[in-house]
């Protein structure tokens, strides 16, 4: 019996975000997938390791991408500490840019009332803008100097495909390679891929040998459309043929509408999966809109009246995309049972008006849709769409039935036009309104709701608690004296029961 075809589901899920890493939990009957399946054709995942080398300031496990348009000059990262029930400052990151690309990130850790540099990452680029080299240094406080640690370099062909990746470690004053990955493209007379071969080398395994990773062999029809691809997996010494994909088109269409996946068994190709009814959102970008998957394996509980050599429907997908970003905002999977389609799970993503991902949830269908795992972003953005103050929450049904604090991110900009007083809120109903901001002497807290106990905490930018006070809002408004505090940035935390709100203020 086959196990869950998890990779196929994850491949579609990954298409919803550039660098998706989220684990999808699955239950019930499932089906086995291999890396060299049709999933590589209907998503932007490439078996040739043509990675998207985007510069991100931060990439937490919940897939929140801070791309260049969102990156500030300085970012503070606070992690939620369950023991103290508060955010603890983890690090400060300082970014340097050139031609709108990050060229240096310096990580600083808190110490006493200041920070000390602990790690820095340099980036350099090819003339076409693709990442050429990345080096990571660590600071040695005893020697009072930066020590090189890791270097990664990348080479590309004229089409932008990566053809060489190398990772080296600093040892005794020089860079010593310990891992290489290379991809070779053989083209036909029409300059189309005919054979793609990938190999890897590791000094930890054998410094004299390259080992096979994968191989793809392409065949085309008279119209130049892909007719079939044979996939070979990497063995210990040589490539092993495993699967073949056959592509079918409707008339003269350039988009294929059906794929049949064949497995090599006893030197004979056996059709095992069929993906059909394929509709495309954008074929050039490999963004699929819908598809249905069939199998030929016998399933007692799924189809008791099974006939030999009959295609059995397994599951089908439908996807919706953001009108501007071409990112998946809804991925839905249904499973076929008996003679009926049933909803199984879906992934729902929401973006704000600045095209920033603010919510993503994996939901399973039981009596109704129930969230199994999710990430939410509450906070403030400036009018240009750059984040100023974000709080990241996660939901994990296996751990709790409540959304939990995860991280708190603060951004600083040196440009005057990014005034922190010009913000647009992206958060649920607030506990209270905090004003004025910036503040000189007295800070007011006003709420439309009565909170018998509203806990107010004030933290400096280093995460140190400056003051704590419990107030009530029976009069609709209360105030705090701020004149004694030095000028700078402070965080005001409001807590009422299980609700919490955090506001960044500027003290003049």
The domain that holds 449 is classified in CATH as: 2.60.40.1930
Averaged over 281-301, what is the pLDDT?
A: 83
In angstroms, rounded to a whole number, what is the distance separating the alpha carbons of residues 380 and 164? 41
What's the confidence (pLDDT) of residue 54? 28
What's the confidence (pLDDT) of residue 26? 23
Q: What are phi and psi of 12, to 5 degrees?
A: -65, -40
Q: Is residue 54 part of a domain?
A: no
8 A C-beta contact, residue 37 and residue 230: no
CB atoms inside a 10 Å sphere around CB 187: 12
8 A C-beta contact, residue 289 and residue 280: yes
Q: Is residue 505 part of a domain?
A: yes
Could you tell me which of 133, 129, 126, 165 has the C-alpha nearest to residue 148?
133
Q: Is residue 77 part of a domain?
A: no
> Which residues fall within 8 angstroms of residue 16, CB to CB, at 6 or more apart?
327, 328, 329, 331, 347, 349, 360
What's the confidence (pLDDT) of residue 67? 44
Averaged over 417-446, what is the pLDDT?
A: 64
Q: Is residue 97 part of a domain?
A: no
pLDDT at 383 exceeding the cut of 90 = no
What's the confidence (pLDDT) of residue 413? 81
Q: What pLDDT band is residue 276 in, cutting at 50, 70 and 90?
A: very high
Q: Is residue 234 part of a domain?
A: no
pLDDT at 159 exceeding the cut of 90 = no
Indicate the pairing of strand 433-435 with strand 465-471.
unpaired
Q: Is residue 127 part of a domain?
A: no
What's the confidence (pLDDT) of residue 489? 82
In angstroms, rounded to a whole number, what is the distance separating the alpha carbons of residues 169 and 178? 7
Question: Per-residue pLDDT tens for 253-271?
Answer: 999 999 999 999 888 999 9
Averaged over 290-305, what is the pLDDT?
A: 70
Q: Is residue 88 part of a domain?
A: no
What's the confidence (pLDDT) of residue 297? 65
Q: What pLDDT band is residue 443 in, cutting at 50, 70 and 90?
A: confident
Residue 439: DSSP 8-state: B
Our count of domains for the chain comes to 1
8 A C-beta contact, residue 135 and residue 143: no
Q: What pLDDT band is residue 493 in, cutting at 50, 70 and 90?
A: confident
Q: Is residue 485 part of a domain?
A: yes
Question: Per-residue pLDDT tens for 30-65?
Answer: 222 222 233 332 232 222 222 222 223 223 333 444
Identify the domain containing residue 434 by its residue range.
Answer: 429-508
3-state class (DSSP) for residue 384: coil
């Amino acid at each position: 019996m086959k196990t869950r075809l998890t990779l196929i589901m994850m491949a579609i899920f990954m298409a919803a975000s550039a660098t998706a890493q989220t684990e999808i939990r699955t239950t019930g009957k499932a089906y086995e997938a291999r890396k060299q399946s049709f999933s590589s054709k209907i998503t932007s995942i490439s078996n040739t390791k043509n990675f998207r080398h985007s510069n991100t300031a931060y990439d937490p496990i919940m897939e929140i991408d801070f791309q260049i348009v969102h990156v500030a000059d300085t970012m503070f990262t606070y992690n939620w500490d369950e023991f103290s029930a508060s955010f603890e400052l983890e690090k400060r990151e300082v970014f340097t840019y050139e031609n709108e690309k990050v060229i240096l990130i310096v990580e600083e850790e808190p110490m006493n009332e200041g920070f000390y540099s602990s790690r820095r990452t340099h980036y350099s680029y090819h003339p076409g803008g693709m990442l050429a080299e990345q080096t990571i240094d660590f600071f040695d406080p005893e020697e009072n100097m930066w020590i090189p640690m890791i270097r990664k370099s990348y080479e590309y062909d004229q089409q932008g495909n990566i053809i060489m990746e190398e990772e080296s470690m600093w040892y005794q004053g020089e860079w010593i390679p310990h891992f290489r990955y290379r991809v070779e493209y053989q083209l036909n007379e029409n300059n189309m891929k005919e054979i793609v071969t990938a190999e890897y080398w590791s000094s930890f395994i054998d410094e004299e040998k390259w080992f096979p990773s994968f191989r793809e062999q392409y065949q085309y029809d008279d119209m130049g459309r892909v007719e079939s691809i044979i996939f070979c997996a990497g063995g210990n010494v040589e490539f092993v043929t495993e699967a073949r994909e056959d592509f079918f088109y409707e008339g003269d269409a350039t988009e294929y509408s059906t794929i049949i996946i064949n497995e090599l068994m006893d030197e004979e190709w056996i059709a095992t999966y069929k993906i059909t009814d394929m509709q495309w959102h954008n074929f050039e970008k490999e963004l699929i809109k819908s598809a249905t998957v069939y199998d030929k394996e016998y399933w007692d509980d799924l189809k008791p009246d099974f006939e030999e050599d009959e295609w059995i429907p397994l599951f089908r997908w439908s996807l919706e995309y953001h009108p501007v970003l071409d990112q998946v905002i809804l991925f839905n999977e249904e499973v076929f049972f008996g003679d009926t389609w049933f909803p199984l799970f879906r992934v729902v993503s929401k973006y704000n008006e600045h095209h920033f991902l603010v919510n993503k949830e994996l939901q399973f269908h039981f009596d109704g849709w129930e969230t199994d795992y999710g990430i939410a972003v509450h906070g403030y953005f400036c009018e240009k769409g750059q984040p100023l103050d974000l709080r990241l929450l996660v939901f994990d049904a296996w751990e709790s039935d409540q959304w939990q604090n995860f991280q708190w991110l603060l951004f600083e900009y040196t440009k005057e036009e990014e005034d922190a007083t010009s913000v647009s809120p992206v958060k649920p109903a607030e506990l209270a309104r905090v004003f004025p901001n910036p503040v000189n002497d007295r800070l007011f807290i006003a709420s439309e709701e009565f909170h018998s106990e509203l806990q107010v905490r004030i933290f400096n930018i280093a995460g140190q608690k400056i003051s704590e006070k419990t107030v009530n809002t029976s009069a609709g408004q209360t105030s705090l004296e701020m004149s004694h505090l030095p000028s700078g940035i402070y965080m005001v935390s409001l807590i009422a029961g299980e609700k919490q709100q955090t506001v960044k203020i500027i003290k003049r």
